Amino acid sequence: MKALKYITLLMFVFLFVACSEESPFEVAEEDLNEAEELAEQKYNESQRAENSVSEEEKCRRGISTYSDDYCCTYYGERCSYYSSSSYMSDADKCYYGTGDYSADYCCTYYGYQCAYVYSSSSSRYSSSSYYSSSSSAVYYLTASKTMKITLTSYKQVSSDWDGFDNAGDPAVSFTIYTYSDGVAGQTINTQVFIDKSDTRSWSGAVSKTYTINKGTDQIKVCPKVIDEDVSSNDNYSSGKCVTASNIGYLTSSDVNAQTDYNSNYNLEWEWYLY
Protein backbone atom coordinates (compact mmCIF):
# COMPACT_ATOMS: atom_id res chain seq x y z
CA MET A 1 0.00 0.00 0.00
CA LYS A 2 2.82 2.41 0.91
CA ALA A 3 4.59 1.63 -2.36
CA LEU A 4 1.43 2.49 -4.27
CA LYS A 5 1.20 5.86 -2.51
CA TYR A 6 4.82 6.74 -3.44
CA ILE A 7 4.25 5.73 -7.05
CA THR A 8 1.08 7.85 -7.23
CA LEU A 9 2.96 10.90 -5.77
CA LEU A 10 5.82 10.54 -8.23
CA MET A 11 3.41 10.34 -11.15
CA PHE A 12 1.68 13.52 -9.92
CA VAL A 13 4.99 15.43 -9.74
CA PHE A 14 5.98 14.14 -13.15
CA LEU A 15 2.67 15.25 -14.67
CA PHE A 16 3.03 18.74 -13.02
CA VAL A 17 6.51 19.25 -14.38
CA ALA A 18 5.58 17.92 -17.80
CA CYS A 19 2.60 20.25 -18.08
CA SER A 20 4.52 23.30 -16.95
CA GLU A 21 6.14 25.51 -19.65
CA GLU A 22 9.17 26.37 -17.46
CA SER A 23 11.23 24.24 -15.15
CA PRO A 24 11.83 25.34 -11.54
CA PHE A 25 15.44 26.08 -12.53
CA GLU A 26 14.32 28.40 -15.31
CA VAL A 27 11.96 30.21 -12.93
CA ALA A 28 14.76 30.66 -10.39
CA GLU A 29 17.09 31.95 -13.11
CA GLU A 30 14.48 34.48 -14.26
CA ASP A 31 14.01 35.71 -10.68
CA LEU A 32 17.76 36.10 -10.34
CA ASN A 33 17.98 38.06 -13.61
CA GLU A 34 15.15 40.35 -12.53
CA ALA A 35 16.92 41.00 -9.22
CA GLU A 36 20.16 41.86 -11.05
CA GLU A 37 18.37 44.19 -13.46
CA LEU A 38 16.66 45.94 -10.55
CA ALA A 39 19.95 46.35 -8.71
CA GLU A 40 21.63 47.72 -11.86
CA GLN A 41 18.73 50.13 -12.41
CA LYS A 42 18.99 51.42 -8.85
CA TYR A 43 22.78 51.80 -9.23
CA ASN A 44 22.41 53.75 -12.48
CA GLU A 45 19.81 56.01 -10.89
CA SER A 46 22.10 56.69 -7.95
CA GLN A 47 24.99 57.44 -10.34
CA ARG A 48 22.84 59.87 -12.33
CA ALA A 49 21.77 61.56 -9.11
CA GLU A 50 25.39 61.80 -7.97
CA ASN A 51 26.55 63.15 -11.33
CA SER A 52 23.90 65.86 -11.20
CA VAL A 53 25.44 67.19 -7.97
CA SER A 54 28.09 69.84 -8.57
CA GLU A 55 31.63 69.28 -7.38
CA GLU A 56 31.19 72.22 -5.03
CA GLU A 57 28.16 70.54 -3.46
CA LYS A 58 30.08 67.27 -3.17
CA CYS A 59 32.83 69.13 -1.34
CA ARG A 60 30.23 70.67 0.94
CA ARG A 61 28.67 67.26 1.70
CA GLY A 62 32.04 65.61 2.15
CA ILE A 63 31.43 63.10 -0.66
CA SER A 64 33.89 64.51 -3.19
CA THR A 65 36.65 62.26 -4.43
CA TYR A 66 38.97 65.26 -4.42
CA SER A 67 41.20 66.17 -1.48
CA ASP A 68 40.35 68.67 1.24
CA ASP A 69 43.05 70.91 -0.20
CA TYR A 70 41.31 70.91 -3.60
CA CYS A 71 37.88 71.61 -2.11
CA CYS A 72 39.26 74.40 0.04
CA THR A 73 41.28 75.99 -2.74
CA TYR A 74 38.61 75.97 -5.45
CA TYR A 75 35.34 76.07 -3.51
CA GLY A 76 36.17 77.29 -0.02
CA GLU A 77 34.79 74.08 1.50
CA ARG A 78 36.38 71.74 4.06
CA CYS A 79 38.99 74.40 4.85
CA SER A 80 38.45 73.89 8.55
CA TYR A 81 40.45 70.70 8.31
CA TYR A 82 43.51 72.87 7.82
CA SER A 83 42.94 75.59 10.40
CA SER A 84 45.54 74.22 12.81
CA SER A 85 47.10 71.47 10.78
CA SER A 86 50.78 71.34 9.95
CA TYR A 87 49.76 69.54 6.74
CA MET A 88 48.78 72.87 5.18
CA SER A 89 51.59 74.15 2.94
CA ASP A 90 53.29 77.47 3.61
CA ALA A 91 51.88 78.80 0.35
CA ASP A 92 48.34 77.89 1.42
CA LYS A 93 48.89 79.46 4.84
CA CYS A 94 49.91 82.68 3.10
CA TYR A 95 46.96 82.43 0.70
CA TYR A 96 44.37 81.91 3.46
CA GLY A 97 46.14 84.09 6.01
CA THR A 98 46.24 81.30 8.61
CA GLY A 99 50.00 81.21 9.17
CA ASP A 100 52.35 83.27 11.30
CA TYR A 101 54.26 84.63 8.31
CA SER A 102 54.46 88.33 7.59
CA ALA A 103 52.88 89.87 4.50
CA ASP A 104 56.40 90.68 3.28
CA TYR A 105 57.40 86.99 3.51
CA CYS A 106 54.23 85.77 1.79
CA CYS A 107 54.60 88.25 -1.03
CA THR A 108 58.33 87.64 -1.54
CA TYR A 109 58.14 83.84 -1.64
CA TYR A 110 54.58 83.07 -2.79
CA GLY A 111 53.13 86.26 -4.31
CA TYR A 112 50.26 86.53 -1.79
CA GLN A 113 49.19 89.45 0.45
CA CYS A 114 51.37 91.95 -1.32
CA ALA A 115 51.51 95.28 -3.06
CA TYR A 116 54.19 97.89 -3.37
CA VAL A 117 53.97 100.68 -0.85
CA TYR A 118 55.78 103.99 -0.77
CA SER A 119 57.84 105.08 2.23
CA SER A 120 56.93 108.60 3.30
CA SER A 121 60.40 109.15 4.77
CA SER A 122 62.26 108.49 1.54
CA SER A 123 61.84 108.46 -2.20
CA ARG A 124 62.96 104.82 -2.04
CA TYR A 125 61.01 101.87 -0.73
CA SER A 126 61.07 101.28 2.98
CA SER A 127 62.60 98.07 4.35
CA SER A 128 59.11 96.59 4.34
CA SER A 129 58.10 97.00 0.72
CA TYR A 130 54.67 95.43 1.00
CA TYR A 131 51.50 95.69 2.97
CA SER A 132 48.87 93.15 3.92
CA SER A 133 45.70 93.40 1.90
CA SER A 134 42.33 93.85 3.58
CA SER A 135 39.93 90.94 3.57
CA SER A 136 37.55 92.75 1.22
CA ALA A 137 40.19 93.59 -1.42
CA VAL A 138 41.05 91.46 -4.43
CA TYR A 139 44.27 91.37 -6.43
CA TYR A 140 42.77 92.89 -9.59
CA LEU A 141 40.93 96.14 -10.29
CA THR A 142 37.19 95.76 -9.79
CA ALA A 143 36.65 99.06 -11.61
CA SER A 144 38.72 101.16 -13.98
CA LYS A 145 41.09 103.61 -12.30
CA THR A 146 43.21 106.58 -13.25
CA MET A 147 46.97 106.15 -13.20
CA LYS A 148 48.95 109.30 -12.45
CA ILE A 149 52.60 108.94 -13.46
CA THR A 150 55.17 111.60 -12.61
CA LEU A 151 58.73 111.99 -13.88
CA THR A 152 60.90 113.39 -11.08
CA SER A 153 64.56 113.12 -12.13
CA TYR A 154 66.82 112.62 -15.14
CA LYS A 155 70.62 112.55 -15.29
CA GLN A 156 72.91 111.80 -18.23
CA VAL A 157 75.71 109.44 -17.15
CA SER A 158 77.65 108.60 -20.32
CA SER A 159 79.36 111.13 -22.55
CA ASP A 160 79.44 111.87 -26.27
CA TRP A 161 75.69 112.10 -26.76
CA ASP A 162 76.38 115.14 -28.94
CA GLY A 163 79.63 115.93 -30.69
CA PHE A 164 79.74 119.58 -29.67
CA ASP A 165 79.44 119.62 -25.86
CA ASN A 166 78.61 115.97 -25.03
CA ALA A 167 75.30 117.05 -23.43
CA GLY A 168 72.29 115.34 -24.96
CA ASP A 169 68.87 116.58 -26.03
CA PRO A 170 66.75 114.10 -24.05
CA ALA A 171 63.09 113.40 -24.76
CA VAL A 172 61.64 111.12 -22.08
CA SER A 173 58.40 109.16 -22.32
CA PHE A 174 57.05 105.76 -21.23
CA THR A 175 55.24 102.72 -22.58
CA ILE A 176 52.76 101.22 -20.11
CA TYR A 177 51.60 97.61 -20.45
CA THR A 178 48.73 96.07 -18.48
CA TYR A 179 47.92 92.41 -17.83
CA SER A 180 45.07 90.36 -16.44
CA ASP A 181 46.06 86.90 -15.18
CA GLY A 182 49.01 86.94 -17.55
CA VAL A 183 46.97 88.00 -20.59
CA ALA A 184 48.15 91.22 -22.25
CA GLY A 185 45.71 94.11 -22.06
CA GLN A 186 46.44 97.76 -22.80
CA THR A 187 49.54 99.24 -24.42
CA ILE A 188 49.79 102.93 -23.61
CA ASN A 189 52.42 105.08 -25.29
CA THR A 190 52.58 108.19 -23.16
CA GLN A 191 53.20 111.74 -24.20
CA VAL A 192 56.71 113.15 -23.82
CA PHE A 193 57.37 114.25 -20.23
CA ILE A 194 60.47 116.37 -20.88
CA ASP A 195 62.02 117.50 -24.17
CA LYS A 196 65.28 119.32 -23.43
CA SER A 197 68.27 120.64 -25.36
CA ASP A 198 71.89 120.36 -24.17
CA THR A 199 70.78 119.01 -20.81
CA ARG A 200 72.83 116.72 -18.57
CA SER A 201 70.47 116.64 -15.61
CA TRP A 202 66.97 117.68 -14.66
CA SER A 203 64.71 117.34 -11.61
CA GLY A 204 61.16 118.44 -11.00
CA ALA A 205 57.68 116.98 -11.41
CA VAL A 206 55.93 116.46 -14.73
CA SER A 207 52.75 114.36 -14.53
CA LYS A 208 50.39 112.67 -16.97
CA THR A 209 47.24 110.64 -16.33
CA TYR A 210 45.92 107.55 -18.10
CA THR A 211 42.97 105.19 -17.57
CA ILE A 212 43.71 101.62 -16.47
CA ASN A 213 40.94 99.18 -17.33
CA LYS A 214 38.88 97.06 -14.96
CA GLY A 215 40.25 93.56 -14.38
CA THR A 216 43.92 94.59 -14.57
CA ASP A 217 46.17 92.96 -11.97
CA GLN A 218 49.63 93.91 -13.26
CA ILE A 219 51.21 97.08 -14.66
CA LYS A 220 54.59 97.22 -16.42
CA VAL A 221 56.27 100.58 -17.06
CA CYS A 222 59.07 100.87 -19.64
CA PRO A 223 60.90 104.21 -19.98
CA LYS A 224 62.00 105.57 -23.35
CA VAL A 225 64.93 108.00 -23.58
CA ILE A 226 65.68 109.50 -26.99
CA ASP A 227 68.53 111.90 -27.82
CA GLU A 228 67.07 114.15 -30.48
CA ASP A 229 69.48 115.27 -33.20
CA VAL A 230 69.00 117.33 -36.30
CA SER A 231 69.92 114.54 -38.68
CA SER A 232 68.72 111.49 -36.73
CA ASN A 233 67.62 110.53 -33.23
CA ASP A 234 69.60 108.16 -31.00
CA ASN A 235 67.65 105.72 -28.85
CA TYR A 236 69.40 105.39 -25.48
CA SER A 237 66.57 103.41 -23.84
CA SER A 238 67.94 100.62 -21.66
CA GLY A 239 65.09 98.22 -22.35
CA LYS A 240 64.41 97.89 -18.64
CA CYS A 241 60.79 97.65 -17.48
CA VAL A 242 59.48 97.81 -13.92
CA THR A 243 56.46 95.68 -12.99
CA ALA A 244 53.96 95.99 -10.15
CA SER A 245 51.63 93.05 -9.47
CA ASN A 246 48.41 92.54 -7.47
CA ILE A 247 47.51 96.17 -8.06
CA GLY A 248 43.96 95.61 -6.86
CA TYR A 249 45.32 95.88 -3.32
CA LEU A 250 46.74 99.37 -3.96
CA THR A 251 44.99 102.41 -2.55
CA SER A 252 45.30 106.03 -3.67
CA SER A 253 47.92 106.59 -0.97
CA ASP A 254 50.22 103.82 -2.21
CA VAL A 255 52.82 105.42 -4.47
CA ASN A 256 55.10 103.27 -6.62
CA ALA A 257 58.57 104.87 -6.76
CA GLN A 258 60.53 103.33 -9.64
CA THR A 259 63.95 103.84 -11.24
CA ASP A 260 66.05 102.97 -14.27
CA TYR A 261 69.78 103.28 -13.56
CA ASN A 262 72.13 102.21 -16.35
CA SER A 263 75.39 103.17 -18.05
CA ASN A 264 73.78 105.98 -20.07
CA TYR A 265 71.38 107.71 -17.66
CA ASN A 266 69.63 107.63 -14.31
CA LEU A 267 65.86 108.05 -14.38
CA GLU A 268 63.36 108.27 -11.52
CA TRP A 269 59.57 108.35 -11.63
CA GLU A 270 56.55 107.37 -9.55
CA TRP A 271 52.89 106.52 -10.05
CA TYR A 272 49.73 105.73 -8.16
CA LEU A 273 46.12 104.79 -8.88
CA TYR A 274 42.99 106.62 -7.84
What does the chain come to in residues?
A: 274
Q: Which residues contact 118 (CB under 8 A, 6 or more apart)?
A: 125, 254, 255, 256, 257, 270, 272
- Indicate whether 177 and 110 sit together in one domain: no
- Percent of the residues in the chain that have a pLDDT greater than 70, as a whole number: 60
Residue 180: helix, strand or coil by DSSP? strand
Give me the domain span that covers residue 250.
145-273
- Indicate whether 106 and 150 sit together in one domain: no
Asked whether residue 180 is domain-assigned, the answer is yes
- Indicate whether 192 and 250 sit together in one domain: yes
- Indicate whether 171 and 240 sit together in one domain: yes
pLDDT tens digit sequence for 125-164: 333 334 444 446 788 999 999 999 999 999 999 987 876 6
Mean of the per-residue pLDDT values of the chain = 76
Asked whether residue 210 is domain-assigned, the answer is yes
pLDDT tens digit sequence for 169-178: 999 999 999 9
- Indicate whether 224 and 166 sit together in one domain: yes
- Indicate whether 205 and 172 sit together in one domain: yes
Is the pLDDT at 214 greater than 90? The verdict is yes
- Indicate whether 131 and 177 sit together in one domain: no
Q: How many domains does the chain have?
A: 3
Quote the pTM value: 0.53
- Indicate whether 65 and 94 sit together in one domain: no
- Indicate whether 217 and 265 sit together in one domain: yes
Exposure pattern of 91-117 as b/e (b: 16+ CB <10 Å)? ebbbbbeebebebbbbbeebebbbbbb
pLDDT tens digit sequence for 111-133: 666 554 443 333 333 333 344 44
- Indicate whether 152 and 266 sit together in one domain: yes
Asked whether residue 78 is domain-assigned, the answer is yes
Asked whether residue 218 is domain-assigned, the answer is yes
Answer with the one of 136, 164, 196 that is the final residue of a domain. Answer: 136
pLDDT tens digit sequence for 230-262: 777 889 999 999 999 999 999 888 899 999 999
- Indicate whether 198 and 129 sit together in one domain: no
Is the pLDDT at 14 greater than 70? The verdict is no
Is the pLDDT at 72 greater than 50? The verdict is yes
